[in-house]
Amino acid sequence: MNAERIDLYGLTREELRLQCVRWGLAPVHAAKVWSHLYLDLAADLSPAAMPKLPERVRACIAAAAAPGVLATAARTDSADGWTRKFLLGLTDGGAVETVLMRYPGRVTACVSSQAGCAMGCVFCATGQMGFRRHLTAGEIVAQAVHVARMARAEPGEGGDRLRNIVLMGMGEPLHNYEAVMRAVEILLDPAGLALAADHITLSTVGVAPAILRLAREPRPPHLAVSLHAATQEERAALVPAAKRWPLEELMAACAAYSAATGRRILYEWTLIAGRNDSPDHARAVGRLLQGLPAQVNLIPLNPTEGYGGAPAELGAARAFQRVLAEEFSLPCTIRQRRGIDIAAGCGQLAQTD
Ligand code: SAH
Ligand code: SF4
């Protein structure tokens, strides 16, 4: 890709308007380009595919804009039809995974923020592949647009409109803060994909200083924090990033986020049989979260090649949930396992090349 070229998906509506002014086009043309991107959900940005746009506009885009739309390099549908995993080709030859998940009443996109991840969590396939690079805001937005387009083209359970986004794909979103927040701003635009701020959830391994920064954003997304252990020692053995941002610092940042935003945080807990799935572990997390606006989400471990641990039994997950509810009045859900047969579940996203 020519580095000078502009990725239209990386521009806010106002920036697109200014860009069109720079190209000598009228504001009405900027509005048309925007609606081509976000209302028509155009699958092709080549001039021939934009018959509604005047010749002059098409010429500017052809000359100066990057291809933008991510090409589908591979697609896998889960046997139950609820989950679709897309391997989307990036313009530099890399690829990134994006997942469409249908639930009763909603369609959710699970979007990647990086190619690979630098955080190295022991049970995560993305962590095990290492860090390749940050994604740009345009590449993050284009994944959501891709899922929105597919939801519209193949309507089914949950409807034909993308309503929820979880930044829980490949990568650590708070390690790529600027691009992720720019993408969130574009996704929230009421004249575009028009997502609601409380329908976007950002999941972090626990980058404490970035959580404090997020708390100061005018429209922060919902926050999910990957906890997995309630003591510094146990956590550091699963999540190497805990050595850099220790549990105490992380919990202080979480408390500050909830105080500043009035929002409850979703604490994720990957349940590994015999490792962190006993009632005593549940009590430890109950004590840790006491007094905080919190909800716990249990994720039975999904199999990955590099990690030998086994998923907790459903009975253990239910017992864990009961302890939190009965002894601590903490709401706790067990995540529905989705797309495991196509390796689209949490922590299974990896690119092998
Ligand atoms: N980097 C971010 C978001 C991506 S991972 C984060 O770590 O939060 C999304 C969730 O999947 C995280 O809670 C992560 O801990 C969890 N996860 C990773 N590998 C998993 C696996 N093999 N089984 C179940 N959950 C896993
Ligand atoms: Fe990165 Fe999240 Fe995987 Fe950890 S769990 S390696 S932070 S993607």
C-alpha 121 to ligand 2 mean position (Å): 5
* Token code pair at residue 69: 């739309």
Contact 105, 177 (CB under 8 A): no
Which residues, 6 or more positions from 52, have their beta carbon under 8 angstroms from its beta carbon? Answer: 32, 36
The angle at the Cα of 140, spanning 338 to 37, to the nearest 5 degrees, equals: 110
**CA 114 to ligand 2: nearest atom:** 8
Predicted pLDDT at 328:
98
**Buried-exposed string 133-162: b where 16+ CB fall within 10 A, e elsewhere:** ebbbbbbbbbbbbbbbbbbeeeeeebeeeb
The mean pLDDT of 312-336, rounded to a whole number, is: 95
Predicted pLDDT at 3:
46
Q: Any idea which residue has 């626990």 for tokens?
A: 206
Residues in the chain, total? 353
Predicted pLDDT at 49:
82
Q: For the segment 216-251, what is each residue's pLDDT rounded down to a tens digit?
A: 999 999 999 999 999 999 999 999 999 999 999 999
**Ligand 2 mutation target, pool 126, 268, 270, most atoms within 8 A of CB:** 126
C-alpha 214 to ligand 2 mean position (Å): 19
The mean pLDDT of 198-215, rounded to a whole number, is: 97
C-alpha 116 to ligand 2 mean position (Å): 9
The mean pLDDT of 104-118, rounded to a whole number, is: 95
Predicted pLDDT at 351:
65
Predicted pLDDT at 352:
53
Ligand 2 contact, 268 CB (< 6 A):
no
- pLDDT greater at residue 212 or residue 303: 212
Q: Any idea which residue has 């920064």 for tokens?
A: 213
**Ligand 2 mutation target, pool 111, 121, 297, most atoms within 8 A of CB:** 121
Given the residues 20, 117, 254, 346, the one annotated as active site:
346
Phi, psi of 236 (to 5 degrees): -65, -25
Predicted pLDDT at 266:
98
CATH no. of 8-64: 1.10.150
**CA 128 to ligand 2: nearest atom:** 6
Q: Could you tell me the CATH superfamily of domain 71-342?
A: Aldolase class I (3.20.20.70)
Rounded percentage of the chain residues whose pLDDT exceeds 90: 76
Q: For the segment 37-52, what is each residue's pLDDT rounded down to a tens digit?
A: 999 999 888 878 887 8
C-alpha 346 to ligand 1 mean position (Å): 5
Q: Which ligand is nearest to the CA of 173?
A: 1
Q: For the segment 243-302, what is each residue's pLDDT rounded down to a tens digit?
A: 999 999 999 999 999 999 999 999 999 999 999 999 999 999 999 999 999 999 999 999
Instruction: Measure the CA–CA gap between 201 and 199, rounded to whole angstroms.
Output: 6
Given the residues 20, 97, 139, 268, the one annotated as active site:
97
| CA dihedral over 68, 143, 227, 118, signed as positive or negative | negative
Instruction: Measure the CA–CA gap between 142 and 341, rounded to whole angstroms.
Output: 25
Query: Is residue 98 helix, strand or coil?
Result: strand
DSSP 154: S
Runs of H (alpha helix) within 5-88: 13-22, 27-38, 55-64
**CA 300 to ligand 1: nearest atom:** 24
Contact 216, 39 (CB under 8 A): no
**CA 167 to ligand 1: nearest atom:** 3
Domain ranges of the chain: 8-64, 71-342
Closest CA to 45 of 98, 7, 81: 7
Of the pLDDT bands very low, low, confident and very high (cuts 50, 70, 90), residue 2 is very low
Ligand 2 contact, 98 CB (< 6 A):
no
Instruction: Measure the CA–CA gap between 208 and 190, rounded to whole angstroms.
Output: 30
Of the pLDDT bands very low, low, confident and very high (cuts 50, 70, 90), residue 102 is very high
97 is catalytic: yes
Residue 213 CA to its chain's centroid (Å)? 18
Ligand 1 contact, 136 CB (< 6 A):
no
Predicted pLDDT at 341:
79
Predicted pLDDT at 202:
98
Q: For the segment 326-344, what is each residue's pLDDT rounded down to a tens digit?
A: 999 999 999 877 777 777 7
Which residues, 6 or more positions from 155, have their beta carbon under 8 angstroms from its beta carbon? Answer: none
Predicted pLDDT at 191:
97
Of the pLDDT bands very low, low, confident and very high (cuts 50, 70, 90), residue 1 is very low
| Amino acid in position 123 | F
Residue 100 CA to its chain's centroid (Å)? 11
- pLDDT greater at residue 18 or residue 348: 18
Of the pLDDT bands very low, low, confident and very high (cuts 50, 70, 90), residue 346 is confident
268 is catalytic: no
